[in-house]
Amino acid sequence: MKSNEAEIYVHIPFCVKKCDYCDFVSFACSDSEKEAYFKALINQIDSMKETVGDTPIVSCFFGGGTPTVPDERLLISVLCKLKESFNFTEDAEITMEANPNSATFDKFKAYREAGINRLSIGLQSTENSELKCLSRLHTYEEFLKTFDDAGRAGFDNINIDIMSALPGQTIESYEKTLERVCALNPEHISAYSLIIEEGTPFFDRYAGGKGLPDEDTEREMYYLTKRYLHEHGYERYEISNYSRLGYECRHNLGYWKRVPYYGFGIAAASFYGDRRYQTHSDLKRFIEGDFSADVEELTRDDAMAEFMFLGLRLVMGVTREAFFDRFGEDIDAVYGRELKKLESEGLLCNGERIYLTDKGMDVANYCMSEFIRG
C-alpha cells in the first residue's frame, strides 16, 4: 500500500440477539433507533470531510454487529454518502459482514448493486449442536441458503468465519467443519479460537475451562487448520487468516501494515497522523450528535513497536526497507538485540525480510512482547 492511502471502517452495532460469547459492541434495538443511528452516521461523515480530504480510500469495511440486520436502504445511503464525500479508488475493496438468515437474495442483490464487492459471513461451525451452544441464531442448513443467495446475487469474493476450541467440539467435529467449508470453495477463510471474554455469559459458564477442549486438543485444532486449509488451496497470510491466492483481505492487510484508517459509528477506532482514536460506545449520545473519541498520541517508540508486532502477524513479516522508510533508522539499531534473540530461539527469520517461523507463529504473543518496551 502507498503511504498516502487510507481505509474506512463503519461500525453497525445492531444484532437480532446478543450471542452468549460476544463482547463486541452489539445489541438489538428498535427500528427508529436504527434509523436515527444511520442519520447520525451521515452527519459524522460530513464532520470528517476536511480531515479525510482527498486521500485515496482503498478499502471500506462495514463491521458489527450485523450490518445486514437494518433495512438495506439505510446502509446503502451511508455507502453512497461515503463515496460522494471521499475519494474512493475505482478498485476499492468494500466489505460487509453478514450473518446467516439476516439477508435474502434480494437484499444481497441491492448491496452488490450499490458497490459492496466482498462479504464476510459468520458461520462459526457446521455442527448445529455447537452453533446452539454458542447461542447463534442459525443452523448450518440456513447458512448454506445464505451462502447460495449471496453467490447468486453476484458476490464472488466471500470470507467464511469459523471458530475452534468451542464447548463440546472435538477434533473430528472441527475437521468436519473444515471439510464442509472447503467444499463450498469460498475465497477466504478466517479461523479463530474461541476466547472467553470477561463480562459475557460464557465467562460465568466456562472461565475455569470446564466443558471446553483441553489445551492439547486446542493446539491440535490449530495445527489441523493450517494443514487442512493448505492441502485444500488456502494459504495462511496472517496468524488466523487464509485465502486463495490474490484474495487476501486488503482492509485487514492495511490494518497490519499501519495504513491510516477513519472509523465511523460508536466504538469505532481510527488511526491517522500518529494518533489512535476510540469513539465512545453510547448509542444515545451518538444519535444526539456526540462523535467524541479518546485520543492516544503515539510516541516514536510506540509507533516502532506497533510496526513490529502488527507486521509480524503477517506471514510475509516486515522489511528492513519499510522500517527505514518509515522511521529513518536502521532496524538493527533499534531492535538488533530482540531480533537476534528470537532468531537464536528459532522463532524468527532475520534476513532482508523479517518474519516469524512456523514455530514463532505458534508463540506469536511471546514474540510480539519482545518489541514492547517500558
> 24, 203, 272, 327: which one contacts ligand SF4 (CB under 6 A)?
24
- The grid coordinates listed for 307 are 510496526
Residue 135 or 357: which CB sits closer to ligand SF4? 135
Range in contact with ligand SF4 (rule: CB under 6 A) among 18-26, 144-152, 208-216, 233-241: 18-26
CB of 263 to ligand SF4, least distance (A): 16
- Euclidean distance between CA atoms 191 and 222, whole angstroms: 9
* Interface with ligand SF4: number of residues (CB under 6 A): 11
99 binds ligand SF4 (CB under 6 A): yes
56 has which bridge partners?
87
Side chain identity at residue 235, one-letter code:
E
The reply on whether position 19 binds ligand SF4 by CB under 6 A is: yes
**For ligand SF4, the closer CB: 66 or 350:** 66
Q: Give me the least distance between CB of 251 and ligand SF4, in Å please.
A: 17
Q: Could you tell me the three cell numbers for 368?
A: 510480539
Kindly identify the residues of this chain, within the stretch 29-68, that bind ligand SF4 according to CB under 6 A: 64-66
Q: How many helices (H) and strands (E) does the chain have?
A: 16, 15
| Interaction residues for ligand SF4, span 109-128 (CB under 6 A) | 122
Residue 222's nearest CA partner among 238, 207, 239 is 239
Taking CB atoms within 8 Å and a gap of at least 24, the contacts of 350-353 are 352/319, 352/320, 352/321, 353/316, 353/317, 353/318, 353/319, 353/320
Q: Does 131 help bind ligand SF4 (rule: CB under 6 A)?
A: no
- Min CB(65)–ligand SF4 separation in Å: 5
Q: What's the closest the beta carbon of residue 142 comes to ligand SF4, in angstroms? A: 14
Dihedral, CA atoms, 269, 238, 245, 163, nearest 10 degrees? Answer: -90
Shortest distance (Å) from residue 24 CB to ligand SF4: 5
In whole angstroms, what is the distance from residue 42 CA to residue 50 CA? 15
Please report whether residue 18 would count as binding ligand SF4 according to CB under 6 A: yes
Nearest approach, Cβ of 120 to ligand SF4 (angstroms)? 11
Contact with ligand SF4 (CB under 6 A) among 6, 7, 11, 26: 26
Sole window of 13-21, 83-91, 106-114, 342-350 interacting with ligand SF4 (rule: CB under 6 A): 13-21
* Segment 208 to 267, residues that bind ligand SF4, using CB under 6 A: none
Site for ligand SF4 in 338-357 (CB under 6 A): none
203 contacts ligand SF4 (rule: CB under 6 A): no
| Shortest spacing between CB 125 and ligand SF4, in angstroms | 13
Q: Please write down the long-range contacts of 125-133, taking CB distance under 8 Å and 24 or more positions apart.
A: 125/162, 125/163, 125/166, 125/169, 125/173, 125/177, 126/176, 126/177, 126/180, 126/181, 127/169, 127/173, 127/176, 127/177, 129/168, 130/166, 130/167, 130/168, 130/169, 130/173, 133/166, 133/167, 133/168
Smaller CB distance to ligand SF4: residue 122 or 311?
122
Query: Cα(334)–Cα(301) distance, rounded to whole angstroms?
Result: 9
Cβ-contact 185, 243 below 8 angstroms: no
Residues 232 and 240: their CA atoms lie apart, in Å, by 16
The interface region with ligand SF4, picked from 20-28, 212-220, 241-249, 311-319 by CB under 6 A, is 20-28
Omega prior to 65 cis, within 30 of 0: yes
Contact footprint for ligand SF4 (CB under 6 A): 15, 18-19, 22, 24, 26, 64-66, 99, 122
